[in-house]
Amino acid sequence: MRIAILQFPTSNCEPEMALAIEKANMQPINFSEPKMLTQLSGCDGTLILDYFNDSLLFEILQEQNLEGKPILGLGDGARTLVAAGLVPGVGENEVCVDITPYSSDSALSHIRLIEDYQYNAFTRLTSLKILRVEATHQFQMPIGLLKEIQIQGMDVFHYCSADGTLQENIAALANKVGNVMAVAAKFNQPQHLEILFRSMHDYFVAGHTQDVTPLFYFPRFLK
């Protein structure tokens, strides 16, 4: 199982992320050069660590999504998935959510699964509870879209206190069928990500393929 790691050449997260992927019995492939993008189709899944505003990459990721391949965006990588229209995955890859700065009393915070979270490619293991992160950004969206997302359990992770008390602030957002997830927070300790990667590995082993369908949301304007 080959997992592409997309990041800028100047980024320094790849060794730790690669090790976490290897511990989940998958093979990390570093994609740090633009000329390598056309080779992404040969990978089984993708991890995005930086923000890329690249139309070719968006097209490739959209094709991977339609094939049901797991795509995970972390930190600035979450912005790439939003810009590509893959989360929450409305209609024709419409961009309808925003990622805004998150302010809290401490730069170090925690995220945890909501009670009725979506069982997806990254949340398949029941031992996944509270993860420590650097709380930098959160998701914002129209109230109508938020309600639809909550019905589907797509607001997978929220920020929380160290004891697990949930906040309203959304830290991670998935698409409707759960093969794509964007986490707006940053992980300073990649070992906390191992359980996400082990879940991804379980997704492959189960032979699960997604029939990707869009989330239907139509903005309503008051007269």
Percentage above 90 pLDDT, the chain: 58
Q: Residue 71: pLDDT above 90?
A: yes
Q: Is 165 within a domain?
A: yes
Q: Is 70 within a domain?
A: yes
Domains contained in the chain, number:
1
Q: Residue 60 has what pLDDT?
A: 94
Whole-prediction pTM value? Answer: 0.92
Structural domain boundaries enclosing 38: 2-205
Q: Is 20 within a domain?
A: yes
The CATH number covering residue 156 comes to 3.40.50.880
pLDDT per position as a tens digit, 131-169:
888 888 999 999 999 999 999 999 999 999 888 899 999
Q: Which two tokens stand for residue 102?
A: 């998150």
209 band by pLDDT with thresholds 50, 70 and 90: low
Count CA within 13 A, CB hemisphere, residue 52.
28
Q: Residue 222: pLDDT above 50?
A: no
Q: Is 153 within a domain?
A: yes
Q: Residue 126: pLDDT above 80?
A: no
Higher per-residue pLDDT: 105 or 7:
7
Range list of β-strands (E), the chain:
2-6, 27-31, 45-48, 71-74, 98-101, 108-113, 130-134, 137-140, 157-160, 166-174, 180-183
Q: Is 78 within a domain?
A: yes
